Chains A and B, each alone.
Chain A
Amino acid sequence: MNKAAKQPWLKPLVFAAALSPLLWLASRAVRGTLGPDPVAEVLNRLGLYAISLLFCSLACTPLQIVAGWSWPLRVRRMLGLFAFFYACLHLSTYLFVDQGFDFGGIAKDVAKRRFVTVGFAAWCALVPLAITSTQAWVKRLGFRRWKSLHRLAYLAGGLACVHFIWRFKTALLQPVLFTAILVVLLGIRLAARVRAPARRMSVPSQSR
């Protein structure tokens, strides 16, 4: 039976849910309730949304492994693209508002500050994934090569965690929790691989 026909609400629902933090942020900006440092607030929120959505996209396959659900796989691409969308907004806020087009300062920042370097690397890792997210690119690359490429998402997740941890001067709960979640997600995939090597060949193909 066609699952997409069975759950026609799935994609619109996930789309609305993924977009809602941005609308909430925009509404706070309009109402002037972003606090005394709105730039920092917007920058930090966008970063949090980016890493959260990236983690949602990374959780799809482990969810399928653990719970046996297939619906997360059908929204994985959308979640990944939303993660990239928020990462772009986060980066743009840093470049154009926080640093105010001061490209000399930005170049220095990216090269010298490891926390900025790592954040930028995480964004870079997402770029090829966003570009090759279409069905046409899966065909062009071949599924196995495409899949290998898309393991970069885990690298991006790891880099995002390091970026998050290094941002603070003292150890904080949030970044540590994200890192723990990443370890759990990766652990589920590895455990599934060890227990059922055949799975490697049988990941369901993407549906639109």
Chain B
Amino acid sequence: MRIRSSEITPKALYLRRRELLALGAAGAGALLLPRHARAAETPHGRKLDGVKAGQPSTEEKKNSFEEITHYNNFYEFGTDKDDPARHAAKLQTRPWTVKVEGECAKPAAFDIDELLKLPVEERVYRLRCVEAWSMVIPWDGFPLATLLEKVQPTSRAKYVAFETAVQPKNMPGVGAFGAIPFPYLEGLRIDEAMHPLTLLAVGMYGEELPKQDGAPIRLVVPWKYGFKSAKSLVRIRLQETQPPTTWSQYGGGTEYGFYANVNPEVDHPRWSQAKERRIGELFRKPTQKFNGYADQVGKLYAGMDLRKFF
């Protein structure tokens, strides 16, 4: 039998055949392996005492505890929506202090158990993620203004910077291969921070905040895209200049802006913001300007070009 020269594999390739096959097989195997569909059930936190119903609260159907704890972004624990539920159990939430400093008369470090004694109210808010999905979440917390008033901001406090926890040993998403730089930084203008809708949440569904949702204390700004509501806060700084924030700096500032107000008229470069999918529903629904809170917060942005300040 004759073998044509064209059927002979080049020697260099022939010698590396196992390598190439192994690479291909390993790659295909790793990619096709089904991820664990569900993370372990989230342990329920301690019940919060004396939670009062607060206003405003939406009457819309709330998302379940299961949905809220198993579908969110918390890049410190990985970039998949189920990563926080899978990995956040290791987050150490005691001891925990929140430093409030900068342009204020009485800077202070607050122990979390001290903050938990403040009167807590339930606010059922819509949460609109910049990725065009949304939820309705019953937060338990107090206005950020309550805390800021304690430190007495000076007239030079024009902005508020937020810094979140970094625990490299407990956070698999933090490190050389982290998707974004940490600590995660956020910021608000002082009038946004002092607005009665802006909440510091310490609980959800009447229980202490689950770790994957930003325990023990997080920001909730319901008229802005979800990433503005920084989780697991450790430092709040009052300052005169606009603080740099993680996402507004990422990729040359093309992804998400500093203001990040929910706005169906201003699209993300890669997708439309006109509609959203409420988790639990099949079809998308129209997104409301300022996530439906225009009556309360619209006046904060009077005269501003919301396309420029996106």
Contacts and interface: CB of A to CB of B under 8 A. Distances in A.
Contacts of A68: 7, 9
Interface in A5-31: 21, 24, 28
Interface in B262-310: 267, 269-272, 274-275, 277, 279-280, 282-284
Contacts of B24: 59, 63, 181, 184
A108 B75 CA distance: 30
Interface stretch (B13-21, B186-194, B195-203, B233-241): B13-21
B284 A196 contact: no
B50 interface: no
Contacts of B23: 181, 184
A149 interface: no
Interface in A87-121: 97-100, 102, 105, 108-109, 112-116
B27 interface: yes
Contacts of B250: 169-170
Given A24-B34, A52-B28, A178-B31, A99 B284 contact: yes
A39 B82 CA distance: 15
A191 B11 CA distance: 11
Contacts of A28: 37
B169 interface: no
Contacts of B272: 105, 108-109, 112-113
A202 B282 CA distance: 51
Interface string B1-44: 00011111110111011001101100110111010011000000
Interface of B: 4-10, 12-14, 16-17, 20-21, 23-24, 27-28, 30-32, 34, 37-38, 63, 66-67, 70-71, 75, 79, 81-82, 133, 179-180, 250-251, 255, 267, 269-272, 274-275, 277, 279-280, 282-284
Given A36-B71, A112-B272, A113-B271, 18 more contacts: A28-B37, A33-B37, A35-B71, A35-B82, A36-B70, A37-B133, A40-B133, A66-B14, A105-B275, A116-B271, A169-B250, A181-B24, A181-B27, A188-B13, A191-B10, A192-B9, A196-B8, A202-B6
10 cross-chain pairs, A with B, having the tightest CB-CB distances, nearest first: A36-B71, A170-B179, A100-B283, A195-B10, A36-B67, A199-B6, A202-B6, A198-B6, A33-B37, A66-B17
